[in-house]
Structure 1
Amino acid sequence: MQSSSELFPVALISAELRGDLSEDVYRLKPNNSPDPSVELALTRLGRATEEAGRGVPVVLLHGSFSNRRFWYSPRGIGLGAYLARAGFDVWIAEMRGHGLSPRNQNYRDNSVAQYVRYDLPAIAEFVYEQTGQTAHWLGHSLGGVILAAALGGRYLDDRRVRSAALFGSQISRQYWPLKIPLVEWGARLALRAFPYLSGRRLKRGPEDEPIGIARETMRWLGLFGRFGDREHDWWAGLAEVRLPVLAVSAAGDQQDPAWACRKLLQQFSEASTAFLLLGKDSGFSSDFGHIEMLVSKEAQSEVWPQVEYWLRHLQLPQALEVPEKAMA
């Protein structure tokens, strides 16, 4: 790979103008994990007229069964494009085997533990090398869970993360059958027969998910499970994070309910936190859903400006703040 970094091999696989935006796509080969075939795609967006004067970097992490198009459509629409037009230096990461990131040799065994131990630190170091600035990080759904895990496991800290925003992210919703050891063990064993879960077949999104993610999630939710890996208790580690953290939940989200998103935020007990509930009771036009919270016409006018405000001020507009008592 052609190197444009002193950290590890990096290839600039495309550099295009997309209307008023510049789009550079890098492929990173960190060589820092047991699987040397891992390569990660990272798309950089900025205003085409201001290449030399980019703003504060923002890293965006997609959720499960998704890719960079969640943040940035081929027509130049999305929160990523909106933030780039607002002057931010936007970096959109794609996890192993998603979007422009090729499937690695051990694709079926990919896990959150590998993402947070190897991939996110490599992305963070490359973004810092290229910009010289600490980035804001935003994650939707599983992307937010991955970001929280990296913070709780101390794989990311304030040297590379300016703030964290979690959209529709939680790990507390219970699936009671999985609390029965034989059921949980049997389900994990049955999943070993499949290399991946098909997002299109399950009608969950355009991408597949490696079966390792599903088996890992079942372990978290089991009777003696915990949010962590063998070396680190990520859940306990969240209590030591001191970054500004925003959690955003959608009132109509049945997949990741507001109470569970709020519980994840409350575990950041030493951090400066803010909680935003997207629903009619909070003054929004509707009770947003899990995807619609960021991808909808209503999100463009009602949610994206609040995200921009957070990134600039590290707090929400006073009228949208949820009091601490209401979060209890």
Structure 2
Amino acid sequence: MQSSSDLFPVALISAERCGDLIEDVYRLKPANSPDISVELAVTRLGLVAQPNTRGVPVVLLHGSFSNRRFWYSPKGIGLGAHLARAGYDVWIPEMRGHGLSARNQAYRHNRVADYARYDLPAIAAFVREQSGQIPHWIGHSLGGITLAAALGGQYLGEPGVASVALFGSQISRSYWPLKIPMVEWGGRLLLKRFAHISGSRLKRGPEDEPIGLALESMRWYGLFNRFGDKDRDWWAGLSEVRVPVLAVAAAADEQDPAWACRKLCDQFGSEQRQFVCLGRAHGFSDDFGHVEMLVSKGAQAQVWPLVERWLQDQSAPLTSESQVQRLAVG
């Protein structure tokens, strides 16, 4: 079968119509990581009425225990569908072993380090090849953390990123038991007995997560709080990032609190940075939660239009001064 890309083998595995939307699913096999069995499913959403029109590309990255359906439902509802109807060229990858992306041979060892170093650059290159433009990126929770790792590690730079928006993403929250070496070591020994963590069993979401990711996150939140791998300090690297950054927190999010999301935003060296907290105290109709910040009727009415404004102009304030804190680099 002829590849859909000149970069690496890519196959169009599905082309469906979902109401007024076209849903094309591509399977990428970049073979750029030590595990050459990795295959990534990337879904493109477009309009039936304008099948050959390519708007500004936007890449949406799901969080942990999730897949492409976080961004659009089978009925065509979600931020991804909303942006496609607004004329954007929407691309939705699914991380290794999630959704339509098959589990690779070394699935249990998958880490954010792998997503950031190998997968996101391949996705960026493919989307840029197909659209002819540099894409904007939006990540929720772990998707945002993965974006931060790719930028801080300099695996993904300005040639592949027009701007980045992080929703409910942070790596600064403290888990005090993990500061005790014996507790961390014991936790590692226990986790290594498993291949994955079940999202459905823990009622966290429809997907599983590889145990390698859990072991990696223990290092982030452990005694030395290292956000990086053995080669690079991603946290330090964020100070050298210059692409526009939007960080959005939810006032009622106990998993990823606003102060920690703000701290991640502050670490970027970008001249154009904005931080928004979705809560009543900041002019919104409700105190949003971790998922509700993007998937709810309130998000549809207040957050999705905010995302559109950001994509249109990263230098303009998203809301009134009482709602958004403009950040000064200094």
**Normalised-by-shorter TM-score class:** over 0.9
Deviations 1:61-118 (A, max 9, x none): 0000000000010000000000000000000010000000000011000000000111
Deviations 1:228-249 (A, max 9, x none): 0111100000000011000000
Which whole-Å CA distance do the structure 2 matches of 1:122 and 1:276 have between them?
30
Which whole-Å CA distance do the structure 2 matches of 1:226 and 1:150 have between them?
15
Q: Is the 8 A contact 1:144 1:169 kept in 2?
A: yes
Moved runs in structure 1, 4+ residues, more than 6 A? Answer: none
Letter in structure 1 aligned against 2:105: Q
Q: Is the 8 A contact 1:65 1:205 kept in 2?
A: yes
Does 2:153 match 1:153? yes
Which whole-Å CA distance do the structure 1 matches of 2:117 and 2:7 have between them?
16
Match of 1:321 among 306, 324, 330: 324
Q: Is the 8 A contact 1:139 1:167 kept in 2?
A: yes
What secondary structure sits across from 2:236 in the alignment?
A: helix
Which whole-Å CA distance do the structure 2 matches of 1:316 and 1:277 have between them?
14
Q: Which residue of structure 1 lines up, in the alignment, with residue 10 of structure 2?
A: 10
Q: Is the 8 A contact 1:66 1:205 kept in 2?
A: yes
Which whole-Å CA distance do the structure 2 matches of 1:316 and 1:211 have between them?
40
Which whole-Å CA distance do the structure 2 matches of 1:249 and 1:230 have between them?
29
Letter in structure 1 aligned against 2:256: D
Q: Is the 8 A contact 1:141 1:169 kept in 2?
A: yes
| Superposed displacement of residue 318, structure 1 | 4.2
Which whole-Å CA distance do the structure 2 matches of 1:210 and 1:98 have between them?
10
Q: Is the 8 A contact 2:245 2:270 kept in 1?
A: no
Letter in structure 1 aligned against 2:20: D
| Superposed displacement of residue 323, structure 1 | 4.2
Does 2:258 match 1:258? yes
Does 2:110 match 1:107? no
Superposed CA RMSD: 1.4
Q: How does 1:12-161 map to 2 (within 5 A)?
A: 12-161=12-161
Percent same amino acid at aligned positions?
Answer: 70
Deviations 1:117-163 (A, max 9, x none): 11001000000111110000000000000000000000111111000
Structure 1's unaligned 5+ residue stretches are none
Letter in structure 2 aligned against 1:140: H
Q: Is the 8 A contact 1:306 1:316 kept in 2?
A: no
Q: Which residue of structure 2 lines up, in the alignment, with residue 236 of structure 1?
A: 236
Q: Which residue of structure 1 lines up, in the alignment, with residue 271 of structure 2?
A: 271
Which whole-Å CA distance do the structure 2 matches of 1:197 and 1:108 have between them?
10
Q: Is the 8 A contact 1:2 1:12 kept in 2?
A: no
Letter in structure 2 aligned against 1:308: E
Which whole-Å CA distance do the structure 1 matches of 2:170 and 2:293 have between them?
15
| Superposed displacement of residue 53, structure 1 | 1.9
| Superposed displacement of residue 51, structure 1 | 2.1
- Matched residues, number: 327
Letter in structure 1 aligned against 2:296: S
Which whole-Å CA distance do the structure 2 matches of 1:61 and 1:137 have between them?
8
TM-score by length of 2: 0.97
| Superposed displacement of residue 324, structure 1 | 4.1
Q: Aligned pair in 2 of structure 1 residues 224, 136: CA closer, same or farther (>3 Å)? A: same
Deviations 1:25-60 (A, max 9, x none): 001001111111100000000111112222100000
| Superposed displacement of residue 224, structure 1 | 2.1
